[in-house]
Chain A
Amino acid sequence: MTRFIERHPAWALIGILAVAILLWLIFAVWPPGLEEAIGRKKVFLNAVFNGITLGGLYFLVASGFTLIFGLMRNVNLAHGSLYLFGGYVGYIISSSTGSWILGFIVAFTIVALVGILLQIVVFRRMEGQDLRQTMVTIGLSIVFADLMLWAFGGDFYQIQTPSWLIGPVEIPLVTAVRSSGEAIYLQYPLVRIVIFLASIVIGVGMWLALNRTRIGMIIRAGVDDRDILAATGVRIQLVFVLVFALGAGLAGIAGVVGGTFSSLSPGEDTRFLLASLVVVIVGGMGSIPGAALGALIIGLAEQLGSVYIPTYAIVVTFLIMVLVLALRPQGLLARR
């Protein structure tokens, strides 16, 4: 951090200013002039919170994508299909058993099994052939999309939020002040906050597992140099299968989260594939902290964009990607 400030003082200043303005916008009571110019603070706060929680969801999808890419150089374009499949599994389980939590567990397990199967049956046969693997994942995504359309039709499915998570909570952030001087606090759905916290826990857990455990050390070594790692006697194929299972399982969990947040339908696979692509391009390929940062930026940009410039919202996301590619093609937090 200090090195960054020393090397790029101008950028650091701009960044600090942006963060300061954002914090002021979140915590201060807006003066009337500002409310007239850009609308009510409640709208803004809701967009920011939606952006942050959406960022949490994007992180869940993209972290699996970036993990698989980092270790295996496999651009898994079927990742969106795994997301949607996990969502459908979660829907079936939670609607038939009534347990939301069980939906997560089963979705993780089944999608991870699909991932293991893919790695063993398909990708192991074409190791080191990046482009061919990518082509295969494109073919698989088409096949999966059509199979899921066959099984579930074109309907929208929404996973029922469990009763103990329904309803808004009051967040100690003032959105406005009544004429009587009484402050109005922000109301926000509890389930989104819980899911966001859970995605932070998962993110921190992944970081700890990667940086503090033996298996994490092996995976990091594999990201750096696969061949030397294999030469030291590590059973690299086992590591590949494990990482693919973890990445796919995370996509499955994200599917359940997405099904609870909004809904599941054909086409969502593409949407989340795009989200993970952009998140990973912005954050840096193969980097978990990069995925977290990218997810936060993209989530916020998407939500704020759709509130303030509704018909050009996607352009904001896209411009961020262009800007990152122009200034730092390897991504914000990539090591190389």
Chain B
Amino acid sequence: MSLSHGAHAHATPPTIAARPSIRTWPEINNPAAWIVATLLLIMPLIANGFFLIEIFATTLILGIVALSLMFLAGYGGMVSLMQLTIAGFAGYMYAIFGTSASANISLGWPWWLATPMALALATIFGTLGGALAVRTAGIYTIMITLAIAAAFFYFTNQNWPLFNGHTGINTIATPHFWGVDWRADIPFYYVVLAVAALCYFAIEYLSRAPFGLALQGVRDNPRRMAALGFNVNAHRVAAYAFASFVAALGGILQVWNYRQIAPGSVSVGAAIDILIIAVVGGITRPIGPFIGAFIFVILRTFALDFLVRIGLDGNRFRLLIGLGFLAIVFWSSDGVIGLWERWKRSRSASVGTSRRHGHG
């Protein structure tokens, strides 16, 4: 687990710097966090429908799914490639239990029944997958979760009675209540923002709660934790369960956003995109996945125009993503956050301030 370890070693400040903020939320004293929060809240006033949904809501949804991976990889040391599969599973379950154009498949439950059902089933699915993955440790996790993701993709592709094969399920109904169409641009944006904020703060809180601290202990030294009386595997499976729930929330929002789901949504490439988002953003802190998702969505949306403008083939978007990912993995073990912090440190060093920089 060298990547998360190495990153962790320099991202966790000595206790002196972290002590004052350990009991409160670290965001409270950070003016940048307040600015970002305000901007996100008044975004509908600034951005039009396209930017609001295609950029910001999509970023937040991908960020939620990547956040679940960040939680597992950053705090648990388990790089799971099946987080998107869990999200897709939740989406499929919502489509199957809810209402859609495929009347022979969908059961037509109302959204307030279909959503908890989908969340519960996806959490169970992810927990079982996690229980399988913790049978082996370290590098094997990536292989097993990748195998689960790929198997689910091929399964949705070849199964017609449940998953409607490669056409998938279309025109999925979205919630309408209190006289509001919750899929209209502005209400949907706020729903996504609220869920994203909830997940973000839940993980922030959990990382400092006894469970999160024990999980980080398990990541750093499973044998010592076992000797101290902690049940190592139970902690890992519990981490998978929680991460599955977060990923499932993202999956539900995803299916509300596109109103359709198909094997393409759970393809291996898409599952790897989530890893890319988390790693590019940085897997040591919960804000990383959102930064990564923002970069990814911006690239995906504008790379075509940009590539054509500089005289290249516009279809080479994935090449750009792959090369960017390689560059990040080569030069910064902590993604964009790591680069930013290194830059900040080198600047403060050149200014000559003797004050120690904490990064909490």
Contacts and interface: CB of A to CB of B under 8 A. Distances in A.
Given A142-B272, A312-B159, A135 B3 contact: yes
Given A132-B329, A139-B329, A311-B158, A150 B313 contact: yes
Contacts of B158: 310-311, 313-314
Contacts of A145: 318
Given A146-B318, A281-B147, A311-B159, A329 B268 contact: no
Nearest to A270: B268
B160 A75 contact: no
B242 interface: no
A314 B275 contact: no
A131 B139 contact: yes
A316 to B, nearest CB: 10
B25 interface: no
Interface in B135-175: 135-136, 138-140, 142-144, 146-148, 150-151, 154-155, 158-161
Contacts of B279: 135
Interface residues of B, number: 45
Given A136-B330, A270-B269, 12 more contacts: A75-B143, A131-B1, A135-B3, A139-B276, A139-B326, A142-B321, A146-B319, A147-B319, A274-B146, A310-B158, A314-B158, A325-B135
Contact of B329 (A135, A278, A326): A135
A277 B272 contact: no
A272 B148 CA distance: 14
Interface in B109-146: 132, 135-136, 138-140, 142-144, 146
B79 interface: yes
19 contacts: A128-B2, A129-B3, A131-B1, A136-B329, A140-B326, A142-B321, A147-B319, A150-B316, A150-B319, A270-B269, A273-B150, A274-B147, A274-B150, A274-B154, A281-B140, A310-B158, A315-B151, A321-B151, A329-B136
Contacts of A77: 142, 146
B160 to A, nearest CB: 6
Interface string A314-326: 1101100110011
Contacts of B269: 142, 270
A263 interface: no
Contacts of B146: 77, 274, 277
B4 interface: yes
9 closest Cβ pairs, A-B complex: A142-B322, A139-B326, A143-B322, A129-B2, A274-B150, A146-B319, A329-B135, A131-B3, A318-B151
B135 A73 contact: no
B136 A143 contact: no
